[in-house]
Amino acid sequence: MENRLPLRICLGLVLAVMLAYLPVIQCDFVNFDDPTYVSNNPHVSTGLTRANIVWAWTSFYAANWHPLTWMSHQLDCQLFGLRARQHHIVNVIWHIASTVGLFLVLRRMTGEDWRPALVAALFGLHPLHVESAAWVSERKDVLSTFFAILTLGLYALYAARPSLERYLTVVAAFVVGLLCKPMLVTWPFVLLLMDYWPLRRCPWSPSVVDPAVHAAGSPVPRFAPAEWWRLVLEKLPLLLLSLASATVTVLAQKRAMRPGEHLSVGFRVGNAVVSYATYLRKTVWPMDLAVFYQHQGRLLPVKPVLVSAAVLLLLSLVVFLGFRKRPALLVGWLWYLGTLVPVIGLVQVGLQSMADRYTYIPLIGIFMALAWSIPALPEVALGLRLATGLAASALLLACLALTFRQTTFWREDEILWYRVVDVADSSIGRCYYGLFFYNADMLDEAEKQFAIGLRMYPESLFALTMLGDFRLDRGKIEEALAYYRKAEAIAPNNAGVRSRLGRAFVCLGRNEEARQEFEAACQEESEKAFNIYNLGAVLDRLGDRSGAEEAYREGRRLDPEFLDKIRESAELYCGGKVRRKNYPPFALFLAEQACNASDPPRADRIQTLARALAVNLRPFAALAAARRASAVAETNGQTDLLAELREQVRSYKSLACRRIALVLSAPGDTALPGCLVSLAVLPSPRSGASNRPR
């Protein structure tokens, strides 16, 4: 009779993980990396186009090179647009696929059912894995892990009957995994661990097979043995691929490593030791999980380092004393220690000390060690078997409930960052919490959070630049400039800081200094269209038309749709629709970009320029721009916009006439230039003029 237990286990795993992650159907994109990866990334949000695919393979955007991950996001946008629910669901589907795949691979390697099922269930349901599965930006985690598990499965097939064809499938799956995330650089060593156990291919592999497990007649899997040098030789091509991937990753993350350059080697080693132990504590007691844990600065307290080192040494001693009878202990422990090496902080990237998502693959080793530490019970010991089953069920139900709860924290920005402030308070957490309030136009609370973040970490670029933005957006330019100068002193080559300095200089009318800052920003981040458009607009103001046109062409090449975002932002700054953006001079700078960079001219963008000119008390230029917008709309047959534009022409003409009357009624011999009088009373042109209003 066919054994249907594996099928039932697979179905149970699928249903359990679906239930645990049910809250993702209510989750939105969050303000942490999701805008960079998906929602505000034009190379992703516009779908799976030829240009976007080329970008995915040639770009080091976001300090990473993972082309297949970019293409996965592009495919989602092609199918679902920017509907966040579907993006989250796709992440969970990949997580479910890895969970089921892990069970099937371990079952194939060991010939057992229940221990692989326990490992897979813990992998699928543990709350430490919520960050990888419920965060859209961590698509790279779930993708790469699926192909890592596929690589293990294909390697098991190869180990059973070695052949070139089977070996090439292993290499192909491994390459695909690396193209999703370079976390798999340690995988050749994982395969060597598998050779020791459970594949038992090494000359010194354990030959003991638990009779209680295979008493029912299930066959013990047989794999082709080999000498140790041959096993190492098999892994060399994979190791070379790992080295190539690591090299590319270092090049991609070179700029992102700068925030950690001031951390000593001793600090990094100490932080790594503490992180190893803390991950284990969170595995056992996952009650204080957060999306960001900021490191403690240059000095790390000695006590947690010593305690953590003692715990790790004690566990290592237990493992090495018992590995002959329980080889899974050694394999699982080395799996955990080894696969964490790329992300343990020896090479510091960013300000985090650790991250839950880094445990996605490493905890498989701990789960294996735990599952194979449970002694196999004979069929006659029904009471013990029942007690063991109940204990495992209670453990998995607790994990399911905690994962369900942890997933709800990813519903929106406010909940996510309140959680961080509550359980792992940090400068970064406060700043992102403030960013939520800022985007919600709750400025007092936002400024409070940024100020707290700056007090917690005086070198926080995030807090300094946001506090500067607060001032600039409301016209306090000198105060904004002071904050930006402090940020520049900390990170002189940061493109965001240089771009903000350029904006402040523009608002002060210091266009030459603004040009220098925008050029520096473009050199640091040549792929950011916003910097290019800024440079074009300031060159336009300086009278360098050829330089401006060249910059505009490059901006349109990088992101032609970004001009619409610039126009929308200009409308906000000049319309007073939101409290956080209400500074007309900057609205005019943005409107000039949107209008002058358009090719061909766009009536709606010229209309925005007219509004910006009007709120900057330049009615005559506003009238000229409105007339030009009307002419362009008429030429393009935009009848829906034409009536609104004609009303604006009448409004600006009336405003210009009032200005004329005001000047004429002023005391003294003030003379009004005749050209302004004629401008106010001339009829609208019937065709678009080629001259842009200044």
pLDDT in tens, 358-372: 999 999 999 999 999
Q: For position 676, what pLDDT does the model report?
A: 46
Asked if the model's pLDDT at residue 443 lies above 80, the reply is: yes
Q: Comparing 378-382, 560-564, 679-683, which segment has the lowest mean pLDDT?
A: 679-683
The number of angstroms, rounded, from the C-alpha of 380 to the middle of its chain's C-alpha atoms is 53
Integer CA distances (angstroms), 647 to 591, 628, 629, 641, in order: 20, 13, 12, 10
Q: For position 187, what pLDDT does the model report?
A: 98
pLDDT in tens, 279-288: 999 999 999 9
Asked if the model's pLDDT at residue 686 lies above 70, the reply is: no
514 or 253, which is more confident? Answer: 514
Residue type, 492: P
Express as a percent the part of the chain with pLDDT over 70: 90
**Mean per-residue pLDDT of the chain:** 88
E strand or H helix at 490, and its extent? helix 477-490
Residues 96, 124: contact at Cβ < 8 Å? yes
pLDDT in tens, 179-199: 999 999 999 999 999 999 999
pLDDT in tens, 447-476: 999 999 999 999 899 999 999 998 888 788
Q: For position 575, what pLDDT does the model report?
A: 66
Assign 3-state DSSP to the chain and report helix, strand, coil percentages, each to 5: 70, 0, 25
pTM over 0.85: yes
Whether a cis peptide bond, with omega within 30° of 0, leads into 225 is no
pLDDT in tens, 334-351: 999 999 999 998 877 778
Q: For position 214, what pLDDT does the model report?
A: 54
Q: How confident is the model at residue 216 (pLDDT cuts 50, 70, 90)?
A: very low
The runs of H, that is alpha helices, within 253-361 are: 265-284, 302-322, 327-339
Q: How confident is the model at residue 682 (pLDDT cuts 50, 70, 90)?
A: very low
Q: Show the tokens assigned to 457.
A: 């970490």
**For the chain, which residues make up each domain, given as ranges?**
597-694
pLDDT in tens, 118-175: 999 999 999 999 999 999 999 999 999 999 999 999 999 999 999 999 999 999 999 9
